[in-house]
Every structure is written in C-alpha cells, then in structure tokens.
Amino acid sequence: MWVMARFVWREAWRRRLVPAALILAVVYVSLFRLGLDHLLQRTAEGLGRPFVRLYLVAFMLVFALYGASLMVSVVTILASVGAISGEIDSGILQPIVARPVRRWEIVGGKYLGYGALLVLLSLTMAWSLVVIGMDRLGPGFWGQVLWDVTPSFALTPLVVLAVTLLGSVLLPTLGNGIAVFGLFSVAFIGGAMGQIGAMVQNRWVYQIGRLSTFVLPSDGLYWAAARRVVETLSEAAASGGAGGVGPGAALGPQGRPMSGYDLSQMMGPFGASAPQPPWFLAYAAAFAGVVLLLAMLAMERRRL
Amino acid sequence: MIEASEWAVRTENLSYRYPNGRLGCQGLNLTIGRGRVFGLLGPNGAGKSTLVKMLTGLLRPTAGRAWIFGRPLGDRQVRRRMGFLPELFRQPDWLTGLELLRFHGALLGLSGRDLAQHVEEAWNRVGLPEEASRRRIGTYSKGMQQRLGLAVALLGDPDLLFLDEPTSALDPVGRRDVRVLLGQLREAGKTVFLNSHLISEVERTCDEIAIIRGGRVVLSGPVAALEGDGRHVLALVREFPPRVQARAAELLGPLLDHWTVEAPGSGTGSSAEAGLAYWGNEDARMGGGLIRVHAVLREPGATPALARALVAAGAALHGLAEERRSLEEIFMQAVNAPVFPEAEAQHAGGSPAGHGGSGEGGRP
C-alpha cells in the first residue's frame, strides 16, 4: 500500500498537480487577505463600530471557507476521477495487478496517496484563512477557530475522494466525472437549500436540504464547520475575548448583547442557521470508510 | 502425460463468459511443461488475450480451474515467480525507466541491494541504452517502451513469463533480440507463454503451440510433430483412375484416412514437392504431367505401406515424400479461415482444369 501511495505522490508532483494546487491556494488566500483588509479599512473609516468589524471578519471568513471547501472538492474530483479507470484504459494498471499485490491494496494505496495530499491542501487553505481572519480580530481565540474548521476540512477531501475512487472502479472516467459532479451538485444545492430553508423558516425546504447532505456529506461538513466558527466568534466577542475588537463587540447593532444566533442571522445563508446533528462528523467519517471499503470490494471483482 | 511436478501451467475446462453473454473462452484444457516455450495462436477474437488475462489474474474465470506451478490462480507466492507483458499497455510517462523498474521491484517485495541488482539485470537484458535509464518514459520511442515493458516482465528473474505480442512495436532488430532472449530463457529453464499473431515468430521460437478458435483449443502439440507428423504424404503418379484408387485404398485398409487427388499442373509448391524437385524430380518442380495424391494416413510411419499399395494397385509411381506443412498451413487449416472474396472470385473465374481434376477419394 505504501508503494502505491508513493507512486501517487510522485505522479502528483511530476504531473504538477502539487505545484498547481499550491499556487491556486496561495492566490486564493492572498485574494482573501487583500479583500478583507480593504473592506476593514474602508469600514473602519466609515462606521468605526466594533461589531461591524466582527461581522465583516466572520462573514468574509465563512464565505472564503465556503470557496475553499468547493475548491478542495473540485480538485479532489479532478485529481482522482481517472485514478483507476484511466489507468485501466491506458494499460498502466494491468502489469501492476499481475504483481503479488492484493487489488484492495491498490485502491488503499491510491486513497492514502491522494488523501494525504488533499488533506494537506485542504487544511493549509482553511488554516491560512482562519489565521488571516483571526489576526484581524486580534489574539485570543485562534486556537478554537482552528479546531472548529480542522475536522470538517480534513474529512471533506476524504469523503469526496472515497466516492470518486468508487466511481473510478465502477465506471469509465467520463461517466465517473459526470456521476461524481452530479452527486456533488446535489449536495451543494441541497446544502444551500437547507440553510435558506432554516433562515426563512421553511421546514420543507430545510428538510430536503438536510437530507441531501447525507447523500454526499461534503457540503454538510462545510456547514458544520461554518456553524462552529460563527458560534465561537459570537461567544468570544460576547465574553470580551475578541482581542482588537474588544468588549464592545459584544453589543449587536441594536446595542443589546450579541449571541451566536444574532450573528448567524446577520450573515444570511452564510450564517449556517441550520445546525448539523452532533454526530454528523462521525457520520461523514463512517461514510468515507464504508465507501472506500466498497471501492476495495468492487476492485476485487473488476474486469481488467 | 506430464507429471504434476513437471508442468508450469495447467487448465481444466477453463471458461470465461463476459457479462454480455459472449464466451471468451470455453472449456480450455491445456498443460504447459516447465521450461517450454509455448505459443498461443488464434485469429482475432479467438480468446487468446482472455486466456492470458485469466492466467495472470486480470480476469476471474467464470468456470473451470487452473493452476500455475501447482498452485491455484491468484496465489501471491506464484505471482512472485511470474512476469507479464500485456498486449496493450502504456508505461506511466511521468516516471523514468529506472524508477518504473524500482517501483515494480518494490511491488515484488525487493529492496536495497537486491532491488538494485535485479533492476540492473533486467535493464541490461533488454538492450536499452544506459543514458535512457534516467530519462522520463514519455521521451522514449515506441520500441524503447516495448523493451522497457519486457524489462518489467523480466524483473525478479521470473520462472514463468507471459508475453502478449512482445514484438508488436519492435523493428526487425528488436524482433531478433526478442528471439535471442527467448532462446536464453529456454536455456535457463524458464517457461514462456507467448501470445502472438506472428506465426513465423511462433514457428521459430516455440516448442509447443495451441491454436484456439471461438474460445476453444482446436489443435495443440509440439511444433515439430505438427509440422512433420509423418501422416501427410505426397505421391506423384502418371495415372490414377478410379479403379486403381479403389484397389489402393483397399490394400491400405485402415491405414488410410483419406486422400486428395490433384490434376497435373496444379502443384502448390509444398515442401514435399520442393523436396522431390531437389532430388531431381523435374516433374515435381515443373508441376507438369503427373497427378498429385496427397494422402493422409492414420498413423505415422505408414509411408512404405502406401508405396507398396500404390504400386500393387497398378499406379505408375514417380515419386513419394512425406509432406512437411508450415505452421501457417496448419494454422489456416485449424481455424478454417474463410477465403477472401476476391480470391474466391479468382477461383470461380479460373480454369476448370485447376479444379476439374481435383477430388477426394479413397476414404475407406
């Protein structure tokens, strides 16, 4: 399995997947930093209200995390869509399968190889965004927000990768791309629907959206992270721990103490109004594990 | 019958049915002795690659069983002793040649000095230039990639090699190198399973062959025995009227399977004709004046009996030689290849004399 993982790492490097993803991440994070600083500068000049600073940082951070989550999912799909099917079509895999390796080890090695790289990319992006955002609020609760995003952003590429690998074992590359992007779109639209449904208190839309996050939990993972970030920021501000923002940030726009719910409502659909069940992270991890197991079993029966 | 300890590959009613219901192989029974170079021949779609894929673990048989070195298919210990060059393959072009061999060596469980030694041996054995070892495979020519594929198959000094069209991308020099390599492998006691469309290649390199068609083995055996089995005899006679034919057939009795009689001037340039011509029989060379009797005997060694019967029956016998068929003839006969339409048209429009004097007879 390690031999296969090293094979994937070398391929990712030689095919410039790693440098391309790193450049993309640097550009994305830099854009976030520029935009956030510009906004804060303009707003501080115009309003000077601490809660606005908190609101802007929270909104921009959660929004940027959304983009990062999307980017990680898309990079995961593009990188691994032909991991098995493409190598079967090109004839690369046949001499490998004839070696004394178990077929499931090939899938496991690919998962390990791509998974490690993509988790690294995902966490690098998420942590960079958090550090930049929290730096604009002053010291105090970086650690908590970093912890808020870590499980979700570590699991997102692992979930998408498991599904893409299963598709790559079962389907031709093009069919797999269409199927996985289709699933991803369902989760994406469903996730947004769930948040909008919760925001406008439409139970039917909320439930449909929520159900869709279980089909492919990648989008649900993002919303779980966003919810925790919003709660942490609200609580920290309310307790006066928002560093540069200061205790004044505890007061909302109407001058009353601010809660996580207030901030969430103010941020519209990005306020993550619809909470995920507490076991959602465990569900996502189990989902990735079961799908990976299915991919390994399917590989055992795959005609080559 | 080969003893179990002496065979490398054995299949028993091995079959594969594709999900669409098409049979890839059906009821294949093969035994390949250790240290033999075995050639698998067959027309397109006959099931050759399906068989190779089953034996190398790429496809799971839907019926039947097979063993390699006495172990069932898929056994990991046996796979350590196998090398495989697939028919359609592409090497990962982002690796260098050396990295690819190291990767496959690692899959074999080799490491350290052992790995380096095996990699060097395999590289040198296929005649790839030293400077190419650190170049990306993407920069290799097609022939170099084929040689690299061979090096991958040879890695770890396997006891059994499956080579699926190993010379398909090679120039004449490369093909000769592969023939030399196969000879070296035979001398080293390795077993080679060669799947090829090139009959001449198989004829020159293989000890044994099997011809499959429609997923079934239609002919198998040692090449030398199939080509000159002592059962096919050409006789040149001046006249061969039905009365003489019937008498000769009666005298031969159960020794004769059948014969084909060809009119004068319809010589085919067979090996027997060439042999007779070599020994001074100008009629055979010119193909004129004599009737050709292609006799198929039931047993090898019955040629003298045929000569006696023909003479006793009253035929004026001018020459007699055992026919040695080329592998191509054997192959075409075995697969009963259809005649191309244009060839068929030529035959139809040709001189009736070419066919008129031909016929089958003497079936006792």
pLDDT score of B19 = 87
Nearest CA of chain A to the CA of B110: how many Å?
Answer: 11
Cβ–Cβ gap A304/B59 under 8 Å: yes
Q: Which amino acid is at A283?
A: Y
Pick the residue with more confidence: B230 or B220?
B220
Q: For chain A, give every domain's residue range.
A: 2-301
Task: Please state, for a pLDDT cut of 90, what percent of chain B lies above it.
Answer: 30
pLDDT score of B260 = 82
Three-class HEC string of A12-46: HHHCCHHHHHHHHHHHHHHHHHHHHHHHHHHHHHH
Walk along chain A (304 residues) and give the pLDDT tens digit of each residue: 888 999 999 888 888 988 999 999 999 999 999 999 888 877 765 555 667 777 888 889 999 999 999 999 999 999 999 999 999 998 899 999 999 999 999 999 999 999 999 999 999 999 999 999 888 877 666 778 898 999 999 999 999 999 999 999 999 999 999 999 999 988 888 888 888 887 777 888 888 888 888 888 988 899 889 888 888 887 776 665 544 444 444 455 555 555 555 666 667 666 666 677 889 999 999 999 999 999 999 999 888 8
Q: Is residue A147 helix, strand or coil?
A: helix
- Nearest partner of B82 among B70, B69, B93, B100, judged by Cα: B69
Q: Which amino acid is at B243?
A: R
Contacts (Cβ under 8 Å, ≥6 apart) of B177: B126, B127, B170
- Nearest partner of A93 among A303, A266, A295, A244, judged by Cα: A303
Neighbouring-strand partners of residue B261: B293, B359
Other residues' Cβ atoms within 10 Å of the Cβ of residue B180: 12
Nearest CA of chain B to the CA of A231: how many Å?
Answer: 47
Distance between CA atoms of A227 and B282, rounded to whole angstroms?
101
Q: If you average pLDDT over each of A255-259, B248-252, B334-338, which comes out highest? A: B248-252
ipTM above 0.85, yes or no: no
pLDDT score of B280 = 57
pLDDT score of B361 = 42
Q: pLDDT per residue over B134-180, tens digit each? A: 999 999 988 888 899 999 999 999 999 999 988 877 888 888 888 88
* Closest-approach residue (CA) in chain B for A1: B107
Q: Please state the rounded mean pLDDT for residues B282-287.
A: 51
Average pLDDT, chain B: 82
pLDDT score of B10 = 93
Distance between CA atoms of A108 and A296, rounded to whole angstroms?
7
Distance between CA atoms of B31 and B37, rounded to whole angstroms?
12
Q: Which of residues 76-105 of B touch A (CB under 8 A)?
A: 76-77, 79-80, 82, 84-86, 88-92, 94-95, 99, 103-104
- Nearest partner of B93 among B148, B154, B164, B50, judged by Cα: B148
Residue A102 CA from chain centroid, whole number? 32
pLDDT score of B205 = 87
pLDDT score of B59 = 92
Look-up: residue for tokens 């300890």? B5
pLDDT score of B191 = 94
Which residue, among A10, A87, A94, would best test binding to B if mutated, counting the most B CBs under 10 Å from its CB?
A: A94
Q: Please state the rounded mean pLDDT for residues B324-342.
A: 69
Q: Is the dihedral of CA B216, B221, B224, B228 positive or negative?
A: negative
Band (pLDDT 50/70/90 cuts) for residue B349 is very low
CB B140 within 8 A of CB B97: yes
Band (pLDDT 50/70/90 cuts) for residue B301 is confident
DSSP state of B207: S
Neighbouring-strand partners of residue B360: B260
Band (pLDDT 50/70/90 cuts) for residue B348 is very low
For chain A, the C-alpha Rg in angstroms (whole number) is 21
* Torsion angle of C-alpha atoms B75, B190, B66, A294, degrees rounded to 10: 40
Distance between CA atoms of A174 and A109, rounded to whole angstroms?
23
Which residue, among A8, A99, A102, would best test binding to B if mutated, counting the most B CBs under 10 Å from its CB?
A: A99
Q: Which amino acid is at B122?
A: A
Is residue A190 exposed (0-12), middle (13-18) or buried (19+ Cβ within 10 Å)? buried
Contacts (Cβ under 8 Å, ≥6 apart) of B52: B40, B86, B87, B162, B164, B193, B195
pLDDT score of B2 = 54
Residue B207 CA from chain centroid, whole number? 9
Which stretches does DSSP call E strand in B74-128? 82-85
Question: What burial letters (b/e) apply to B78-101, b meaning 16+ CB within 10 Å?
Answer: bbbbbbbbbbebebbbbbbbbbbb
pLDDT score of A58 = 86
Q: Which of residues 90-129 of A touch B (CB under 8 A)?
A: 90-92, 94-102
Residue B48 CA from chain centroid, whole number? 12
Band (pLDDT 50/70/90 cuts) for residue B363 is very low
Cβ–Cβ gap B94/A95 under 8 Å: no
Distance between CA atoms of A221 and A126, rounded to whole angstroms?
13
CB B196 within 8 A of CB B202: yes
* Closest-approach residue (CA) in chain B for A95: B84
